[in-house]
Amino acid sequence: MEAGVERSRSLVLRSGGLEDARNLAERNGWQRVDSGERDAWALWRIGDRAYFCYALAQACGERVCYFYGPDKREVDALFDRYADGVDAWTLDELLVRSPDEPASPATRLREVLRLGLGAPRECSLPFLRYLWIASRHDNEIVRGAVPQAAFYMRWPALRRLLRDLSRLDRSPRVRELARLVLEEINRRPRF
């Protein structure tokens, strides 16, 4: 996303994917302006300056929708007005299970990535706590999902967690991923 563009938090869709996004856009008369191959993404114009975007997060297979445009108040108002128009995980549902509760590594991986995608735009202590706990998980796959989630969130408060992972994690892969994400967040703090 270019400088001067504001973006809402992502709505992580439970099901429906592009069909959910298309239905919301059609119900509200938004003009489809572009789309990607195999329904990987789609974009609708809302008025003169705002957009509604659907995208498939390739890294984890989750589907997301968000609003963007040059005016933060307008983007926030669009999110508040239309977020209930798609079947998306709520913030509370993203946090429903603690990362230290029993679950398979594959389930935990998906939960950590979904949490990162759907997190609030500003730092939230319950989300931050979730990632700290997940960063100490026994399984390398789960710990490796933490930098990926941080990449989506881009909160300055995540820098310490990423520094610790990049220096102290027992897996070279997790250390390298945390280092790369930390560099990217330092370079470009927002999408």
Per-residue pLDDT tens listing for the chain (191 residues): 455 789 999 999 998 789 999 999 999 999 999 887 777 899 999 999 999 999 998 878 899 999 999 999 999 999 999 999 999 999 999 997 777 788 888 889 999 999 999 999 899 999 999 999 999 999 999 999 999 999 999 999 999 999 999 999 999 999 999 999 999 999 876 65
The whole-model pTM stands at 0.88
The CA-atom distances, in angstroms, between 167 and each of 13, 128, 163 are: 34, 19, 6
Nearest to 127 by CA among 107, 112, 105: 112
pLDDT value of position 57 = 87
